[in-house]
Structure 1
Amino acid sequence: MDRYYLDAVIGLLLEGVGDFITQLLTLPYLYISIFKIKSLPLTLAIIYNSLCDLAIGMIPLGIGDMMDIFKRSYMQNFKLIDGFIHGDRATISAVNKKAAITVVLIVLMVVVIYILVKLTIVLMRYVLSMLVWLL
Structure 2
Amino acid sequence: MMNRSSYRMMVKTAKYMDKYYLDPLIGLIPGGFGDTISSLLAFPFIYYSLCVVKSIPLTLAVIYNILIDVMLGAIPVIGNVFDIFKRSYVDNLKLITGYIEDDKEIISKVRKKAFATAVLIAIVCFLIYWVVRAAIAFFHMLF
Category of TM-score, reference length = shorter chain: 0.7 to 0.9
Q: Which aligned segments of 4 or more residues in structure 1 are displaced greater than 4 angstroms?
A: 106-111
Deviations 1:22-51 (A, max 9, x none): 111111111110011111111001101001
Measured after TM superposition, the shift of residue 79 of structure 1 is 0.1
Q: Within 2, Cα distance between the matches of 1:63 and 1:37?
A: 35
Structure 2 residue 64 is matched with structure 1 residue 36: no
Structure 2 residue 96 is matched with structure 1 residue 76: no
Structure 2 residue 24 is matched with structure 1 residue 18: no
Structure 2 residue 73 is matched with structure 1 residue 57: yes
Q: If the length of structure 1 is used for normalisation, what is the TM-score?
A: 0.72
Measured after TM superposition, the shift of residue 99 of structure 1 is 2.7
Q: If the length of structure 2 is used for normalisation, what is the TM-score?
A: 0.69
- Alpha-carbon distance change, 109 to 58 in structure 1, aligned in 2, over 3 angstroms: farther
Identical residues among aligned pairs (%): 54
Measured after TM superposition, the shift of residue 13 of structure 1 is 3.2
Instruction: After superposing the two structures, state which structure 1 stretch, 95-104 or 45-54, moved more.
Output: 95-104
**Which residue identity is paired with 2:69?**
D
In structure 1, the partner of 2:43 is 27
- One of 90, 96, 104 as aligned partner of 2:111: 96
Q: Within 1, Cα distance between the matches of 2:71 and 2:57?
A: 21
Does the 8 A contact of 1:46 with 1:77 survive in 2?
Answer: yes
Aligned length: 110
Unaligned stretches of 5+ residues in structure 2: 1-16, 128-143
Q: Within 1, Cα distance between the matches of 2:123 and 2:84?
A: 22
Q: Within 2, Cα distance between the matches of 1:97 and 1:54?
A: 19
Q: Within 2, Cα distance between the matches of 1:19 and 1:42?
A: 23
Does the 8 A contact of 1:12 with 1:18 survive in 2?
Answer: yes
RMSD: 2.1
- Alpha-carbon distance change, 51 to 108 in structure 1, aligned in 2, over 3 angstroms: farther
